[in-house]
Amino acid sequence: MAQAYMTETGNGGSEPEPSGSGLRRRLAELRGDPGIWRRGIVTAGLAALISLVMIFHASLPNDVGNLGSLTETFLPWLGVAVPLLLVAAVVRKSATALIAILLTAVVWVNLFGGLVTDKSGSGGNLVVATHNVDADNPDPKSTAQSLAKSGSDVLALTELKAGAVPTYEKYLGAVYKYHSVEGTVGVWSKYPLTASQAVDIRLGWTRAMRATVSSPQGPIAVFVAHLPSVRVKLNAGFTANQRDNSADALGAALAAEPLKKVILLGDLNGTMNDRSLSEVTSQMRSTQGAAGDGFGFTWPAQFPMARIDQIMVRGIQPEASWSLPRTGSDHLPIAARVTVKP
């Protein structure tokens, strides 16, 4: 059989080279190249730093500019660095960088790989939805009409402008027989609502409420909340102190709730990774994390980068979670299907 490769001989002639020997020679050359381990040290260092941030993000200090919370808000996006660093490692022909990047990829998959897959199921006997409708929404009528088609049994709205409330009442009323509005938040329901009241989240005005939904499976405590906005400022960092104080107050209200079946809907202006929301997240279960398809980012609507709108439950089983079509708001509406046992 003819040989696949030829090698040069000392007298200018050639002789057959066994198949695969060229590849083996090249690998041997790479192994013998000391630069393959010394090149790409900076790339490897960046990969190692990203891995450390993902692993020890809870140890990042919040004392200066709420650095820890800022990092945790956009933590999944650190994975974007993996393919970029991989290209740099290949160009530099650096084994050290390739190994470091592989470890970074493993860390990211361990933390967020479970969110990428579709965990939704087919069960459920109650659909809930929430939407920050945006006080500056130029078309509340179309937003209300879109939400009326969501198929949800219970719908929570936040950032309700007083002048727009009648519009939402009018165009949601055909689907939802019951509703209650407290300050800038409200809940619409196909089932009777009772015990509706404002919840004090230390703001001085009403941006949270609680109501009892009399579902076919029994009473459910439904909380609707819109925690204060956060800002990123060059001279102050991540300004979230007011939000953090409100989150603590909301957590206290949830902890004091006597009903065993609880649903929290609204704009928390923070992600499930943000330690500053721990008073809430420690006692509630995210429907997106348990039964979502992908990360389910909700803000900004044009190019969602973070899931700051949440549907969370206690004493209720999440079955599926998804985003609804974009409206005139700067947030995406979201919905979830859950199972409520009698």
Q: What is the 3-state secondary structure (H, E, C) of 80-140?
A: HHHHHHHHHHHHHCCHHHHHHHHHHHHHHHHHHHHHHCECCCCCCCEEEEEEECCCCCCCH
Domain end point (choices 94, 116, 138): 116
pLDDT tens digits along 87-124: 999 999 999 999 999 999 999 999 999 888 899 999 99
Residue 3 located in a structural domain? no
- Mean pLDDT of all residues in 220-226: 98
- Mean pLDDT of all residues in 4-32: 54
Domain check: are 235 and 318 in the same one? yes
Do 277 and 106 form a contact (C-beta atoms < 8 A)? no
Query: Looking at per-residue confidence, does 311 or 23 come out higher?
Result: 311
Q: Which two tokens stand for residue 49?
A: 């730093």
- Mean pLDDT of all residues in 323-341: 98
What pLDDT, on a 0 to 100 scale, did the predictor assign at position 6?
43
Domain check: are 271 and 298 in the same one? yes
Residue 28 located in a structural domain? no
CA gap 151, 128 in Å, rounded:
9
Q: Is the pLDDT of residue 10 over 50?
A: no
Distances (CA, A) of 104 to 100, 172, 341: 6, 48, 42
pLDDT tens digits along 132-142: 999 999 999 99
Domain check: are 66 and 191 in the same one? no
What pLDDT, on a 0 to 100 scale, did the predictor assign at position 171?
98
Supply the mean pLDDT for the chain. 90
In the structure, what pLDDT confidence band is assigned to residue 241 with cuts at 50, 70 and 90?
Answer: confident
Domain end point (choices 85, 116, 147): 116
Share of the chain above pLDDT 70, in %: 88
Q: Is the pLDDT of residue 7 over 50?
A: no
Query: Looking at per-residue confidence, does 277 or 33 come out higher?
Result: 277
Contacts of 227 (CB under 8 A, 6+ apart): 201, 207, 243, 246, 247, 250, 266, 267, 268, 269, 270
pLDDT tens digits along 176-206: 999 999 999 999 999 999 999 999 999 999 9
First to last CA, the chain: 77
CA gap 284, 260 in Å, rounded:
12
| Number of domain units in the chain | 2
The whole model's pTM is what? Answer: 0.85
Domain check: are 108 and 140 in the same one? no
Q: Which two tokens stand for residue 305?
A: 């980068």
Q: Which two tokens stand for residue 252?
A: 């206290």
Domain check: are 45 and 176 in the same one? no
pLDDT tens digits along 141-174: 999 999 999 999 999 999 999 999 999 999 999 9
Do 187 and 209 form a contact (C-beta atoms < 8 A)? yes
65 phi-psi bin (left φ>0, alpha ψ -120 to 50, beta other): left
In the structure, what pLDDT confidence band is assigned to residue 303 with cuts at 50, 70 and 90?
Answer: very high
Do 243 and 298 form a contact (C-beta atoms < 8 A)? no
Q: Is the pLDDT of residue 1 over 60?
A: no
User: What range defines the domain where residue 110 resides?
Assistant: 33-116
Domain check: are 309 and 169 in the same one? yes
What pLDDT, on a 0 to 100 scale, did the predictor assign at position 18?
54
Residue 79 located in a structural domain? yes
DSSP β-bridge partners for residue 222: 211, 263
pLDDT tens digits along 38-63: 889 999 999 999 999 999 999 998 87
Q: Which two tokens stand for residue 1?
A: 């059989």
Domain check: are 233 and 314 in the same one? yes
Q: For the domain that residue 235 is a member of, what is the CATH number? A: 3.60.10.10
Domain check: are 58 and 105 in the same one? yes
- Mean pLDDT of all residues in 70-79: 93
In the structure, what pLDDT confidence band is assigned to residue 20 with cuts at 50, 70 and 90?
Answer: low
Residue 242 burial (CB < 10 Å; 0-12/13-18/19+)?
middle
Domain check: are 187 and 266 in the same one? yes
